[in-house]
Amino acid sequence: MAHGVLGENGKERQPRRRRLHFPVVEAFFSDAGLLSLFNVRVFKTVLQPPYEIREFLKQSYLIGNKSLALVGITGFIIGLVLTIQSRPTLAQFGAESWLPAMVAVSIVREIGPIITAVICAGKVGSGIGAELSSMRVTEQIEAMQVSGTDPFKYIVITRILAATLMIPVLTVFSDAFAFYGSFLGVNLRGDVSFTLFFSQALTKLTFMDVFPAFIKTFFFGFAIGLIGCYKGYNASTGTEGVGRAANSAVVTASLVVFIIDMLAVQITSLFM
Amino acid sequence: MESPFLKAATPPIEPIQEQIGQQTNVIEIRHLKKSFDDHEVLKDISIEVARGETLAVLGKSGAGKSVLIKCIVALLEPDAGTIILFGKDIAASGKKEQTGLHNRIGFLFQGGALYDSKSVRENLEFPLRNLKIKPSLEEKDKLVVEALTNVGLTDAIDKMPSELSGGMRKRLALARTLIQKPEIMLYDEPTTGLDPITSREISRLILGVQEKYQTSSIIITHDIECANIAANRIVLIRDGLCVASGTYDELENSDDEWVRSFFEWHADHTKATTAMQGKKSAR
């Protein structure tokens, strides 16, 4: 019979059972569980009044306006580079005339949404993570609560909705800039009119190219907003917590964007 | 014609001494306990604050003063004990009732907790959005200007909080808290991190607020001078327990050595400061 040792209060204390300890795995599942609970809270709260319309519009403006230039320039460069890189291969098969259509399909189905989402995961996700964690550290969230405003509704819901709405809009802009970059790429070694290029590019696009790609951008936006808010809202105190929240928001959001993309491709392929 | 909003937001004013005399407690804390993991921060705290009274809670750093004040506004949930505000147990109140209570309480955070992304005007307008009777734009403007005038910051109305000094930020935070015309004010270390002159200014401002709006207040501090200037009564917390309660003079002459040591340090410090000022003026 095993005997325990006497504890401080005189009661017999059982020896602690040794258990397997994998801190990284534990942290991963703990984080995933808490993120899921946070997600449930978002869905529970989002339809409850009062609706913070003004804050939502402000956040939409900030996310859209501040990311537009970056997304546009990146889209333009990607379109240009993709065209230049693809031309020699297509030329080998005598299929240079397919260049606009090929680039259009690549951009609309995959490159435009994923590049925009990854850029926004870096810019918007880290911004939200840093802002909210800074608000947590400086007790602004508590101050909001004490003044009678629900900080979850005012800060979290508005930012998640704004990101969900604005990432698709930014993707459309990114695609447009990429098309223009591709048009310039085609004209570096040829002479194709603007109308001809776009008619060649757009006529080859089908509903199944555009629709699933557009729908998945809403999920990208939601994931970026959700993870940024989760990391920032639950940040530990201190300046270290702010840095960690911002960094963690970018890494997690980027990873989740790729996972969503993989799932979206699998689901889309079922209908094709 | 007087605005219905302003009328509703202003609490009825009665002579303060008369109110204290009536001993209607607006805050009653009974046997409050709060632990973090194995660390028992508040062991058994019982405090009452009468209408119009200002109570200073003194104690060393880490004594649990801030935990106590956060329990009062339900930012932290106590492990045991009851907190009764305006006769209502906050633990038994629903979310709506708690929001209603929050509208009657002002909380000045240690660091001010100003909204960095909002201007001074927006910071002041923010608490007004939760009032039952929504003020018009004109009324909002009037209240903002009045709040800034009370703390002497009228010139800073369009500045951002980052452009203000530490003392100005503290005064702005006080103005933001006061704009709701709260019936209870809770101050968490209002003079921490400020120079002695600004500390004294803030302490006098707190006293002025109490006299003007007849608020009941709890000041969490370890600044004896602030307690002396602004409080009617002082409670000392040690190891999670209330060890002494009384007026400044009563506690200064206490038989308890630990209680007296708090006040002796202050007396020595005041003497030293006065002596230094005397030397400087003699030069």
Residue pLDDT, tens place only, B169-205: 988 998 898 888 888 999 998 888 778 888 888 888 8
Using the predicted structure, report yes or no on whether residue A241 has a pLDDT greater than 90.
no
Using the predicted structure, report yes or no on whether residue B137 has a pLDDT greater than 90.
no
When the pLDDT of each residue in chain B is averaged and rounded to a whole number, the result is 81
What is the reported pLDDT for B271? Answer: 60
pLDDT band at B10 (very low <50, low <70, confident <90, very high): very low
Q: Which residues of B touch A134 (CB under 8 A)?
A: 116
Complete domains list, chain B, with CATH: 24-104+182-283 (3.40.50.300), 118-181 (no CATH)
- B149 CA to chain A: closest CA distance, Å? 21
Contact B48, B29 (CB under 8 A): yes
B22/A15: higher pLDDT: A15
Instruction: Test A143 with B113 for CB contact under 8 angstroms.
Output: yes
pLDDT band at B276 (very low <50, low <70, confident <90, very high): low
When the pLDDT of each residue in chain A is averaged and rounded to a whole number, the result is 89
What is the reported pLDDT for A28? Answer: 86
pLDDT band at B6 (very low <50, low <70, confident <90, very high): very low
- Parse chain A into domains and list their residue ranges: 58-270
Using the predicted structure, report yes or no on whether residue A20 has a pLDDT greater than 50.
yes
Using the predicted structure, report yes or no on whether residue A174 has a pLDDT greater than 90.
yes
pLDDT band at B2 (very low <50, low <70, confident <90, very high): very low
Q: What is the C-alpha separation between A253 and B146, in angstroms, rounded?
A: 45
What is the reported pLDDT for B1? Answer: 39
What is the reported pLDDT for B268? Answer: 65
Contact A138, B113 (CB under 8 A): yes
pLDDT band at B282 (very low <50, low <70, confident <90, very high): low
- A122 CA to chain B: closest CA distance, Å? 21
Q: Which residues of A touch B115 (CB under 8 A)?
A: 140, 143
Which of B215, B112, B125 lies closest to B164, judged by CA? B112
Which residues of A, range 95-154, sit inside 8 Å of B by Cβ?
A: 131, 134-135, 138-140, 142-149
Which of B207, B243, B211, B213 lies closest to B228, judged by CA? B207
Which of A235, A55, A267 lies closest to A159, judged by CA? A55
Mean local confidence (pLDDT), A211-223: 95
pLDDT 10s digits, A221-236: 999 999 999 999 998 8
DSSP B114: -
ipTM value for the complex: 0.78
The H helix count followed by the E strand count for chain B is 11, 10
Mean local confidence (pLDDT), A135-159: 91
Q: Which residues of B touch A131 (CB under 8 A)?
A: 117
